[in-house]
A and B are shown apart, each in its own frame.
Chain A
Amino acid sequence: MSSVPRPRVAALALAVGLVLADSSIVVLALPQIYRDLDTSVAGVTWVLVSFNLVMALVAVPAAHLARRVGPGRATAVGLAVFAGAGIACGLSSELSTLIAARCVQALGGAAAVTAVLELLPTTVGSERRAVTIWAIAGATGAALGPAVGGLLTELVSWQSIFLVQAPLALVAGVPVLAVARHEAATGVLATELRRTGRPHLLANVALAMVSAAIAAALFLLVLLLIEGWRLTPIGAAVVVSVTPLAALLGARLEPEAVSARARAAAGAILISGGLGALALLPKAEVALTLPPQLLVGIGLSLVLSALTETALSGRAPQAIHGGWTISARHAGVAIGLIALTPLFTSDIAQQRRDAVDAGTAVVLDSRVSPLLKLDLSRRIDERLESERGRVPTIGPAFEPLPEDPADRASVLRLRSELQDQLDRGATHAFSPSFGLGALLGLLALVPIGLARRVDL
Chain B
Amino acid sequence: MSATRQARALVISALIASLALTGVYLAAGGASYVPAKTQDPCKHRPWRNPQGIEEIVEQFSFSALDGAACELGVSRERLARALATPRSRERFMQRYGIDDTELARALRAGLVRAVDDAEAAGALSPLLAGPLRETVRRVPADQAIELIHDARALLDNVQRFLEPARGLLEQFLPGLSP
18 examples of A-B residue contacts, CB within 8 angstroms: A269-B14, A269-B15, A270-B18, A272-B18, A273-B17, A273-B21, A276-B21, A281-B30, A282-B29, A282-B30, A295-B21, A354-B35, A374-B84, A378-B81, A381-B85, A385-B88, A385-B91, A428-B33
Which of B21, B57, B77 contacts A291, CB < 8 Å? B21
Extra inter-chain contacts (16) besides given A273-B14, A295-B17, A377-B84, CB under 8 Å: A270-B17, A273-B21, A280-B30, A281-B25, A283-B29, A291-B21, A295-B21, A351-B35, A355-B36, A356-B77, A358-B38, A374-B80, A374-B149, A377-B80, A378-B88, A385-B91
CB <8 Å contact, B21 and A258: no
Give the interface size bracket for A toward B: 35 or more
Residue of A nearest to B62 (CB): A364
A184-192, A216-224, A259-267, A313-321 - interface stretch:
A259-267
Query: Once bound together, how far apart are the Cα atoms of A299 and B10, in whole Å?
Result: 11
Shortest A253–chain B CB gap in Å is 10
Contact flags A370-404 to B (C-beta < 8 A → 1, else 0): 11001001101110110000000000000000000
Q: Point out the residue from B7, B13, B17, B77 that lies within 8 Å of A357, measured CB to CB.
A: B77
Residue of A276, A291, A382 ringed by the most chain B CB atoms within 10 A:
A276
**How distant is the Cα of A421 from the Cα of B15 in the complex, in angstroms?**
34
Interface residues of A in 337-359 (CB under 8 A from B): 351, 354-358
Across the two chains, which residue of chain B brings its CB closest to A384? B81
Taking a contact as CB atoms under 8 Å apart, the answer to whether A358 and B35 are in contact is yes
A421 CB contact (under 8 Å) in B36, B75, B80 = B36
Instruction: Report B22-69 residues with CB < 8 Å from chain A CB.
Output: 22, 25-26, 28-33, 35-39, 54, 57-58, 61-62
B166: CB under 8 A from chain A? no
Instruction: List the A side residues contacting B32 at CB < 8 Å.
Output: 282
Q: Is B82 an interface residue (CB 8 A)?
A: yes
Cross-chain contact B30 with A258 (CB below 8 angstroms)? no
Contact A360 B81 (CB under 8 A): yes
**Contacts of B80 on A, CB cut-off 8 Å?**
360, 364, 374, 377
User: Which A residues have a C-beta under 8 Å from some C-beta of B?
Assistant: 255, 257-259, 261-263, 265-267, 269-270, 272-274, 276-277, 279-283, 288, 291-292, 295, 299, 351, 354-358, 360-362, 364, 369-371, 374, 377-378, 380-382, 384-385, 421, 424-425, 427-428
A420 to nearest B CB, angstroms?
10
In contact, A274 and B18 (Cβ under 8 angstroms): yes
- Tell me if A's interface is mostly helix, strand, loop or mixed: helix
Min C-beta distance of B15 to chain A, whole Å: 6
- Complex interface: chain A residues within 8 A of B8 (CB): 262
B11, B26, B29, B85 interface centre (most CB from chain A within 10 Å): B11
B33 / chain A contacts, CB cutoff of 8 Å: 424, 427-428
A355 touching B35, Cβ below 8 Å? yes
Q: Verify A274–B25 contact, CB threshold 8 A.
A: no
A282 close to B28 (CB less than 8 A): yes
What are the nearest 3 A-B pairs in CB distance? A273-B18, A280-B30, A378-B84
Tell me how far the C-beta of A428 lies from the nearest C-beta in chain B, rounded to whole angstroms: 5
Tell whether, in the assembled complex, residue B3 and residue A259 are in contact, meaning their CB atoms are under 8 Å apart: yes
Taking a contact as CB atoms under 8 Å apart, the answer to whether A370 and B91 are in contact is: no
B6 within 8 A of A: yes
Report B-chain residues with C-beta under 8 Å of the C-beta of A266.
Answer: 10-11, 13-14
What's the nearest-Cβ distance from chain B to residue A352, in Å?
Answer: 10
A428 to B21, Cβ gap below 8 A? no
- Closest CB of chain A to B22's CB: distance in Å? 4
What residues of B have a CB within 8 angstroms of the CB of A259 in the complex? 3, 7
Known: A259-B7, A281-B25, A428-B35. A357 touches B14 (CB 8 A): no
- Among B22, B61, B75, B76, point to the contact of A277 (Cβ < 8 A): B22
A-side contacts of B149, CB under 8 Å: 374
User: Among the listed B3, B22, B25, which residue makes an inter-chain contact with A258, where contact means beta carbons less than 8 Å apart?
Assistant: B3
B118 to chain A, nearest CB (A): 15
Question: How far apart sit A288 and B28, CA to CA, in the bound complex (Å)?
Answer: 11
Which residue of the partner chain, among B14, B19, B84, contacts A299 with CB atoms under 8 Å?
Answer: B14
Complex CA gap A384/B75 in Å reads 17
In the complex, how many angstroms separate the beta carbon of A275 from the nearest chain B beta carbon?
A: 9
Cβ-defined contact, B21 with A358, below 8 A = no
Chain B contacts for A262, CB-based, 8 A? 6-8, 10-11
B22 near A276: Cβ-Cβ < 8 Å = yes
In angstroms, how far is the closest chain A Cβ from the Cβ of B66?
A: 11
Chain A CB within 8 A of B150 CB: yes
Residues of A with C-beta under 8 A to B160: none
Cβ-defined contact, B150 with A292, below 8 A: no
CB distance from B114 to the nearest CB of A (A): 13
